[in-house]
Chain A
Amino acid sequence: MVMADSKVEFAGLRVRYGRREALKGVTFDARHHEILGIIGPAQSGKTTLLSTINRTIDNVPGAVVAGTVRLDGQDVRLTRDVFGLRRKIGMVAPLPVGLPLSIFDNVAFAPRMAGIRDRHELERRVESCLRQAALWDEVKNRLTSLGTKLSGGQQQRLTIARALSHDPEVLCLDEFSIAIDPVTTMRIEDVLRELRSKMTIILVTNLVQQARRLADRTAFLFNGELVEIDATEVIFSHSPASRRTYEYVNGIFG
């Protein structure tokens, strides 16, 4: 089922950690310039799914991947240049991770690692990424202070700025709001709506209402299987295709 407008495709994707099967063959896609929400209770395989896209799953001892993940129609597991692949994907982890570097260096890290040395170019990128992450105004006067000294919500926006710093084509967010306050969450959600015009966003979230607010389409994962994927209005309507989806989004189980 290759679709012309697929950005990321999962086809029969299976992941095992030793004996435990985290993903039991899921097939769906994320399209160009959409926000794809992925919801599902704990242990449903959401985080694992994200780690297969940029192949950080390779670093997990004992993880076995079968099936395919394609980025722009190309199998990510066949690529020679895994670091080039990762530079196409921005990844935001559940807990904010300010690297123990200055705020500037945190955001300049990825461009530098990719070989950009020009000071002006780095400054331009750092500013634009911090602006996109709605953090610039708060930190523009202290770019040299430590990223780890920022508050939790600021660090999470710093993490987002860093994820944007290498011009990714796909931005994956893994429950980005669990460590930050509702106001900051709303600001970041606004940011994501704007970013949609530039990139594909995959939003894994435990807050079903967040998916409802943001996502164009929503996928419901349960126990390593895809229960259903559909337009967000359908998922949150009275009649999604699966009874379990209805029960989950309405808090009846999960």
Chain B
Amino acid sequence: MFQATPLTRRKGYAELVAKTIFFAMTSMMVLPLVLIVAYLFYQAWPILSLDFLLTVPKHGMRAGGIWSPLLGTLYLVAISLVVATPIGVLAAVFLNEYARETWVTRVINLAVVNLAGVPSIVHALFGLGAFVLFAHLGKSILAASLTLAIMTLPVIIASTKEALSSVPMAFREACWNVGATRWQTVWHVVLPNSISGILTGVILQVSRAAGETAPIMFTGAVFYKAIPEDTLFAYGLFDQCMALSMHLFTISTQVPDLPKALPYGAAVVLLGVVLIVNAMAIVLRVHLRSRKKW
């Protein structure tokens, strides 16, 4: 009675074909990433070393390492997240946990969604107008970081809202039913159970902030800046700085007679920063999810 009929055999065949096609499509997604990484490493291999990371560019950026742009990118990303994370997370808590559905919150939500879709060059112009000129910050790390913060803010709000709304409504109702206030509910039940999603969303914005060129180009990043190699505090808040993405762009387009491996080296470092941060996000997510309680 368990013998395969021609019909079930045909069905099994169709199943196999479908599965193969789906797998092939999925693999095609991974392929470009693997190729890009492999090619970059291949081209950059001669130049990659710890020294490359820790020395400043020399001889009109034709030699030396990428310490100054690397440090500049770290500054920009760190400051922008320090600004954007609390604002974004608190705004999302308000929108998701407190705000009632009114036309005001609808407008805010619409603004968040649309802001997330604004091209980065437009954020750059806004940053130039608002921070560099209007707030008299000048072209500086602070102005550039704030511009990056404005750019990442809507996405942080959106991802945090997503994480918050993944906490079942029943938990909130159970808390309200025993007389807990909204804040007690948020603090004791909602936030502890959505923190992994919130952090992942925030960390993923690191890679975006690190990779963008346009927003920092007008607001604080420069072609070249000499800094000492021996300190982490080489830049001040109101200094201009170099940045990886911008550096990659300038050396590949503006510097003649460049050793071929150099831009690839810069690209590998930029990609490395992004991948390391993403890997951290994944590890954190797995760790926190393993403690997930329902």
Contacts and interface: CB of A to CB of B under 8 A. Distances in A.
A100 B170 CA distance: 11
Contact of A163 (B171, B177, B181, B189): B177
Contacts of A93: 170, 173-174, 177
A163 B173 contact: no
B100 interface: yes
Contact of B180 (A62, A83, A97, A98): A83
Contact of B179 (A86, A146, A148): A86
Interface residues of B, number: 21
Contacts of B192: 100
Nearest to A62: B101
A165 interface: yes
Residue picked from A62, A91, A113, A165, most chain B C-beta under 10 Å: A113
Interface residues on A, range: 20 to 34
Contacts of A87: 178-179
Contacts of B181: 83, 113
A165 to B, nearest CB: 7
A225 to B, nearest CB: 26
B293 to A, nearest CB: 3
Given A93-B170, A97-B170, A146-B293, A166 B101 contact: no
Given A56-B173, A95-B170, A109-B188, A100 B178 contact: no
A148 B293 contact: yes
A184 B114 CA distance: 52
Interface string A108-152: 011001100000000000000000000000000000001010000
A99 interface: yes
A84 B178 CA distance: 9
Interface string B174-214: 11111111001000110011000000000000000000000
Given A109-B188, A148-B293, A97 B178 contact: no
B23 interface: no
A59 B176 CA distance: 9
Contacts of B171: 97, 99-100
Contacts of A97: 170-171, 173-174
A54 B175 CA distance: 12
B233 interface: no
Contacts of B184: 113
Given A99-B189, A159-B174, 14 more contacts: A56-B176, A59-B173, A61-B101, A84-B179, A86-B176, A87-B179, A95-B170, A97-B174, A109-B175, A114-B179, A148-B294, A162-B178, A163-B178, A166-B179
Closest 8 pairs (CB-CB, A-B): A100-B293, A110-B178, A87-B179, A86-B179, A91-B177, A148-B294, A97-B174, A113-B180
Interface of A: 54, 56, 59, 61-62, 83-87, 89-91, 93, 95, 97-101, 109-110, 113-114, 146, 148, 159, 162-163, 165-166
Interface of B: 100-101, 170-171, 173-181, 184, 188-189, 192-193, 292-294
